[in-house]
Amino acid sequence: MAPAPRITVIGTGYLGATHAACMAELGYEVLGVDVDPDKAAALQSGRLPFYEPGLEELLAPHLESGRLRFTTSAEEAAEFGDVHFVCVGTPQRKGEFAADTSYLDAAIDALAPHLTRPCVVVGKSTVPVGTAARLAERLEAQAPVGADAEMAWNPEFLREGHAINDTLHPDRLVVGVRSERAEAALREVYAPLISAGVPFLVTDFATSELVKVSANAFLSTKISFINAMAEVCEAAGADVTQLSQALSYDPRIGGLFLNAGLGFGGGCLPKDIRAFMARAGELGVDQALTFLREVDAINMRRRFKMVDVAREACGGGFLGRRVAVLGAAFKPESDDIRDSPALNVAAQVQLQGGEVTVYDPKATDNARKMYPGLAYAETAFGAAHGAHVVLHLTEWREFREIDPVALGDVVAEKHIIDGRNALDAVRWRAAGWTFRALGRP
């Protein structure tokens, strides 16, 4: 039997660190590569530069056994690997909608000149359609083995907070390839998942790239759809949580990603739909995605609405008012604050004269770096101390478990606004609070 392929993972952020640990868990020898020596050293010593449930625990045994290592050397990676997964970021370009793919170019440029034996280089990053074909040329042109350094695309669908489960038990595997050799290499790497029944779809490059961005476009649209219904509910005196529950029983609609509230944020959905629109424009089909502008606009309006409702609860203005913000991460089980709706609202309230104190179970350190002007507390009760209004903006379990009677003892006024439709209105009202939520009477 041929020896198992050796795997490298280039770029060790959320996606790469998770992928590296999970490939080791599947039994492969794995080398993680990052240009940032601090990051590589931290990972090598078992420390994660971000919070992801279960990931440190998964890294530890594989680091100890030596099956998983981290380096900064592209040369070492080229020497080591049979299959190279590229997991670098593709952020939104400053002042534009388009994605910045320069980290991908840099990863290929660093690796390719050292590739002296056949291998497959597999892009996992979310990219504008056409990127894989472009990188394939760049790879072949620079690799000493030429076309034997082959490109493939294998988009990643993992959600932060569920990254390990989404990697080891994905809904599907999609691989964009140009040859049977590349397909066979990926079938071999993913054999344990395929034999567990995970659907394995083989496509061309362009389709595989589009699967990822269209999935994110669909999910964003679903969230903005229910948030548009929330706007109508607010005007008509209806309850969007009951509406979405009733819709969810229709299997054609389904209940997942149908939670109305403060809308989507994070490092993926907002920038991915914008990059998708920009790419459609370049391809001359901008009209096909014009609706995503509306999806984006509905999403951003929820943040303003939240500020409006909070201002009303403060009696028409924030001056001289203390506002407690529960949540800073863009979603629970994460310390990621990129494009966080919660911090966007907190900053707006502060700019309008409110005295804002934020508490988040995991994201406080990151939030403090980006928004040093906000005050931070060590506990939810600390944030709520003396508050005139409490805003629930990220639906951590800890916040659902707060005792409204006890919290009522520390605030100045008992007003709570649920921006995530996750708290039990009956309990809060029974404890004497005025309870408001987005999309509900």
* Residue ranges in contact with ligand UDX by CB under 6 A: 156-160, 216, 219, 223, 257-259, 261, 263-266, 268-269, 330-331
DSSP 115-154: --S-EEEEE-S---TTHHHHHHHHHHHH-TTGGGEEEEE-
Strands, E assignment, 262-377: 322-326, 355-359, 375-376
CA dihedral 159, 274, 360, 323 (to 10 degrees): -150
Q: Whole-number minimum distance, CB 383 to ligand UDX, in Å?
A: 20
CB 293 within 8 A of CB 358: no
| Cβ atoms < 10 Å from Cβ of 158 | 20
Calculate the CA 160 to chain-centre distance.
5
- Select 298 or 349, whichever has its Cβ closest to ligand UDX: 298
- Select 150 or 272, whichever has its Cβ closest to ligand UDX: 272
Q: Whole-number minimum distance, CB 328 to ligand UDX, in Å?
A: 12
- Select 90 or 101, whichever has its Cβ closest to ligand UDX: 90
- Name the residue type at position 321: R
- Select 99 or 158, whichever has its Cβ closest to ligand UDX: 158
Q: Whole-number minimum distance, CB 268 to ligand UDX, in Å?
A: 3
Give how far Cα 13 sits from Cα of 8, 21, 336, Å: 14, 12, 12
Task: Scan for tokens 């080891």, then name that residue.
Answer: 168
- 87, 119, 233, 268: the catalytic one is 268
Q: Whole-number minimum distance, CB 157 to ligand UDX, in Å?
A: 4
Q: Whole-number minimum distance, CB 138 to ligand UDX, in Å?
A: 25
Residue 281: what are its φ and ψ, rounded to 5°?
A: -60, -45
- Helices of type H across 95-237: 102-111, 131-142, 163-168, 180-189, 191-195, 205-236
- Residue 268 is a catalytic residue: yes
Q: What is the rounded CA–CA span in Å between residue 319 and residue 316?
A: 9
- Select 89 or 266, whichever has its Cβ closest to ligand UDX: 266
* Among 72, 151, 155, residue whose Cα is nearest residue 110: 72
Give how far Cα 213 sits from Cα of 163, 231, 274, Å: 18, 27, 10
- Select 47 or 172, whichever has its Cβ closest to ligand UDX: 172
Q: Whole-number minimum distance, CB 263 to ligand UDX, in Å?
A: 5
Q: Whole-number minimum distance, CB 253 to ligand UDX, in Å?
A: 13
Give how far Cα 370 sits from Cα of 21, 280, 336, 340, Å: 29, 32, 11, 11
> Pairing relation of β-strands 119-123 and 415-418?
unpaired
- Select 31 or 292, whichever has its Cβ closest to ligand UDX: 292
CB 436 within 8 A of CB 233: no
- Select 71 or 220, whichever has its Cβ closest to ligand UDX: 220
Q: Whole-number minimum distance, CB 26 to ligand UDX, in Å?
A: 20
Q: What is the rounded CA–CA span in Å between residue 128 and residue 47?
A: 32
| Residue 427 buriedness (CB in 10 A; 0-12 / 13-18 / 19+) | middle
Residues in the chain: 441
Task: Scan for tokens 């990822």, then name that residue.
Answer: 212
Q: So which residues are the catalytic ones?
A: 268
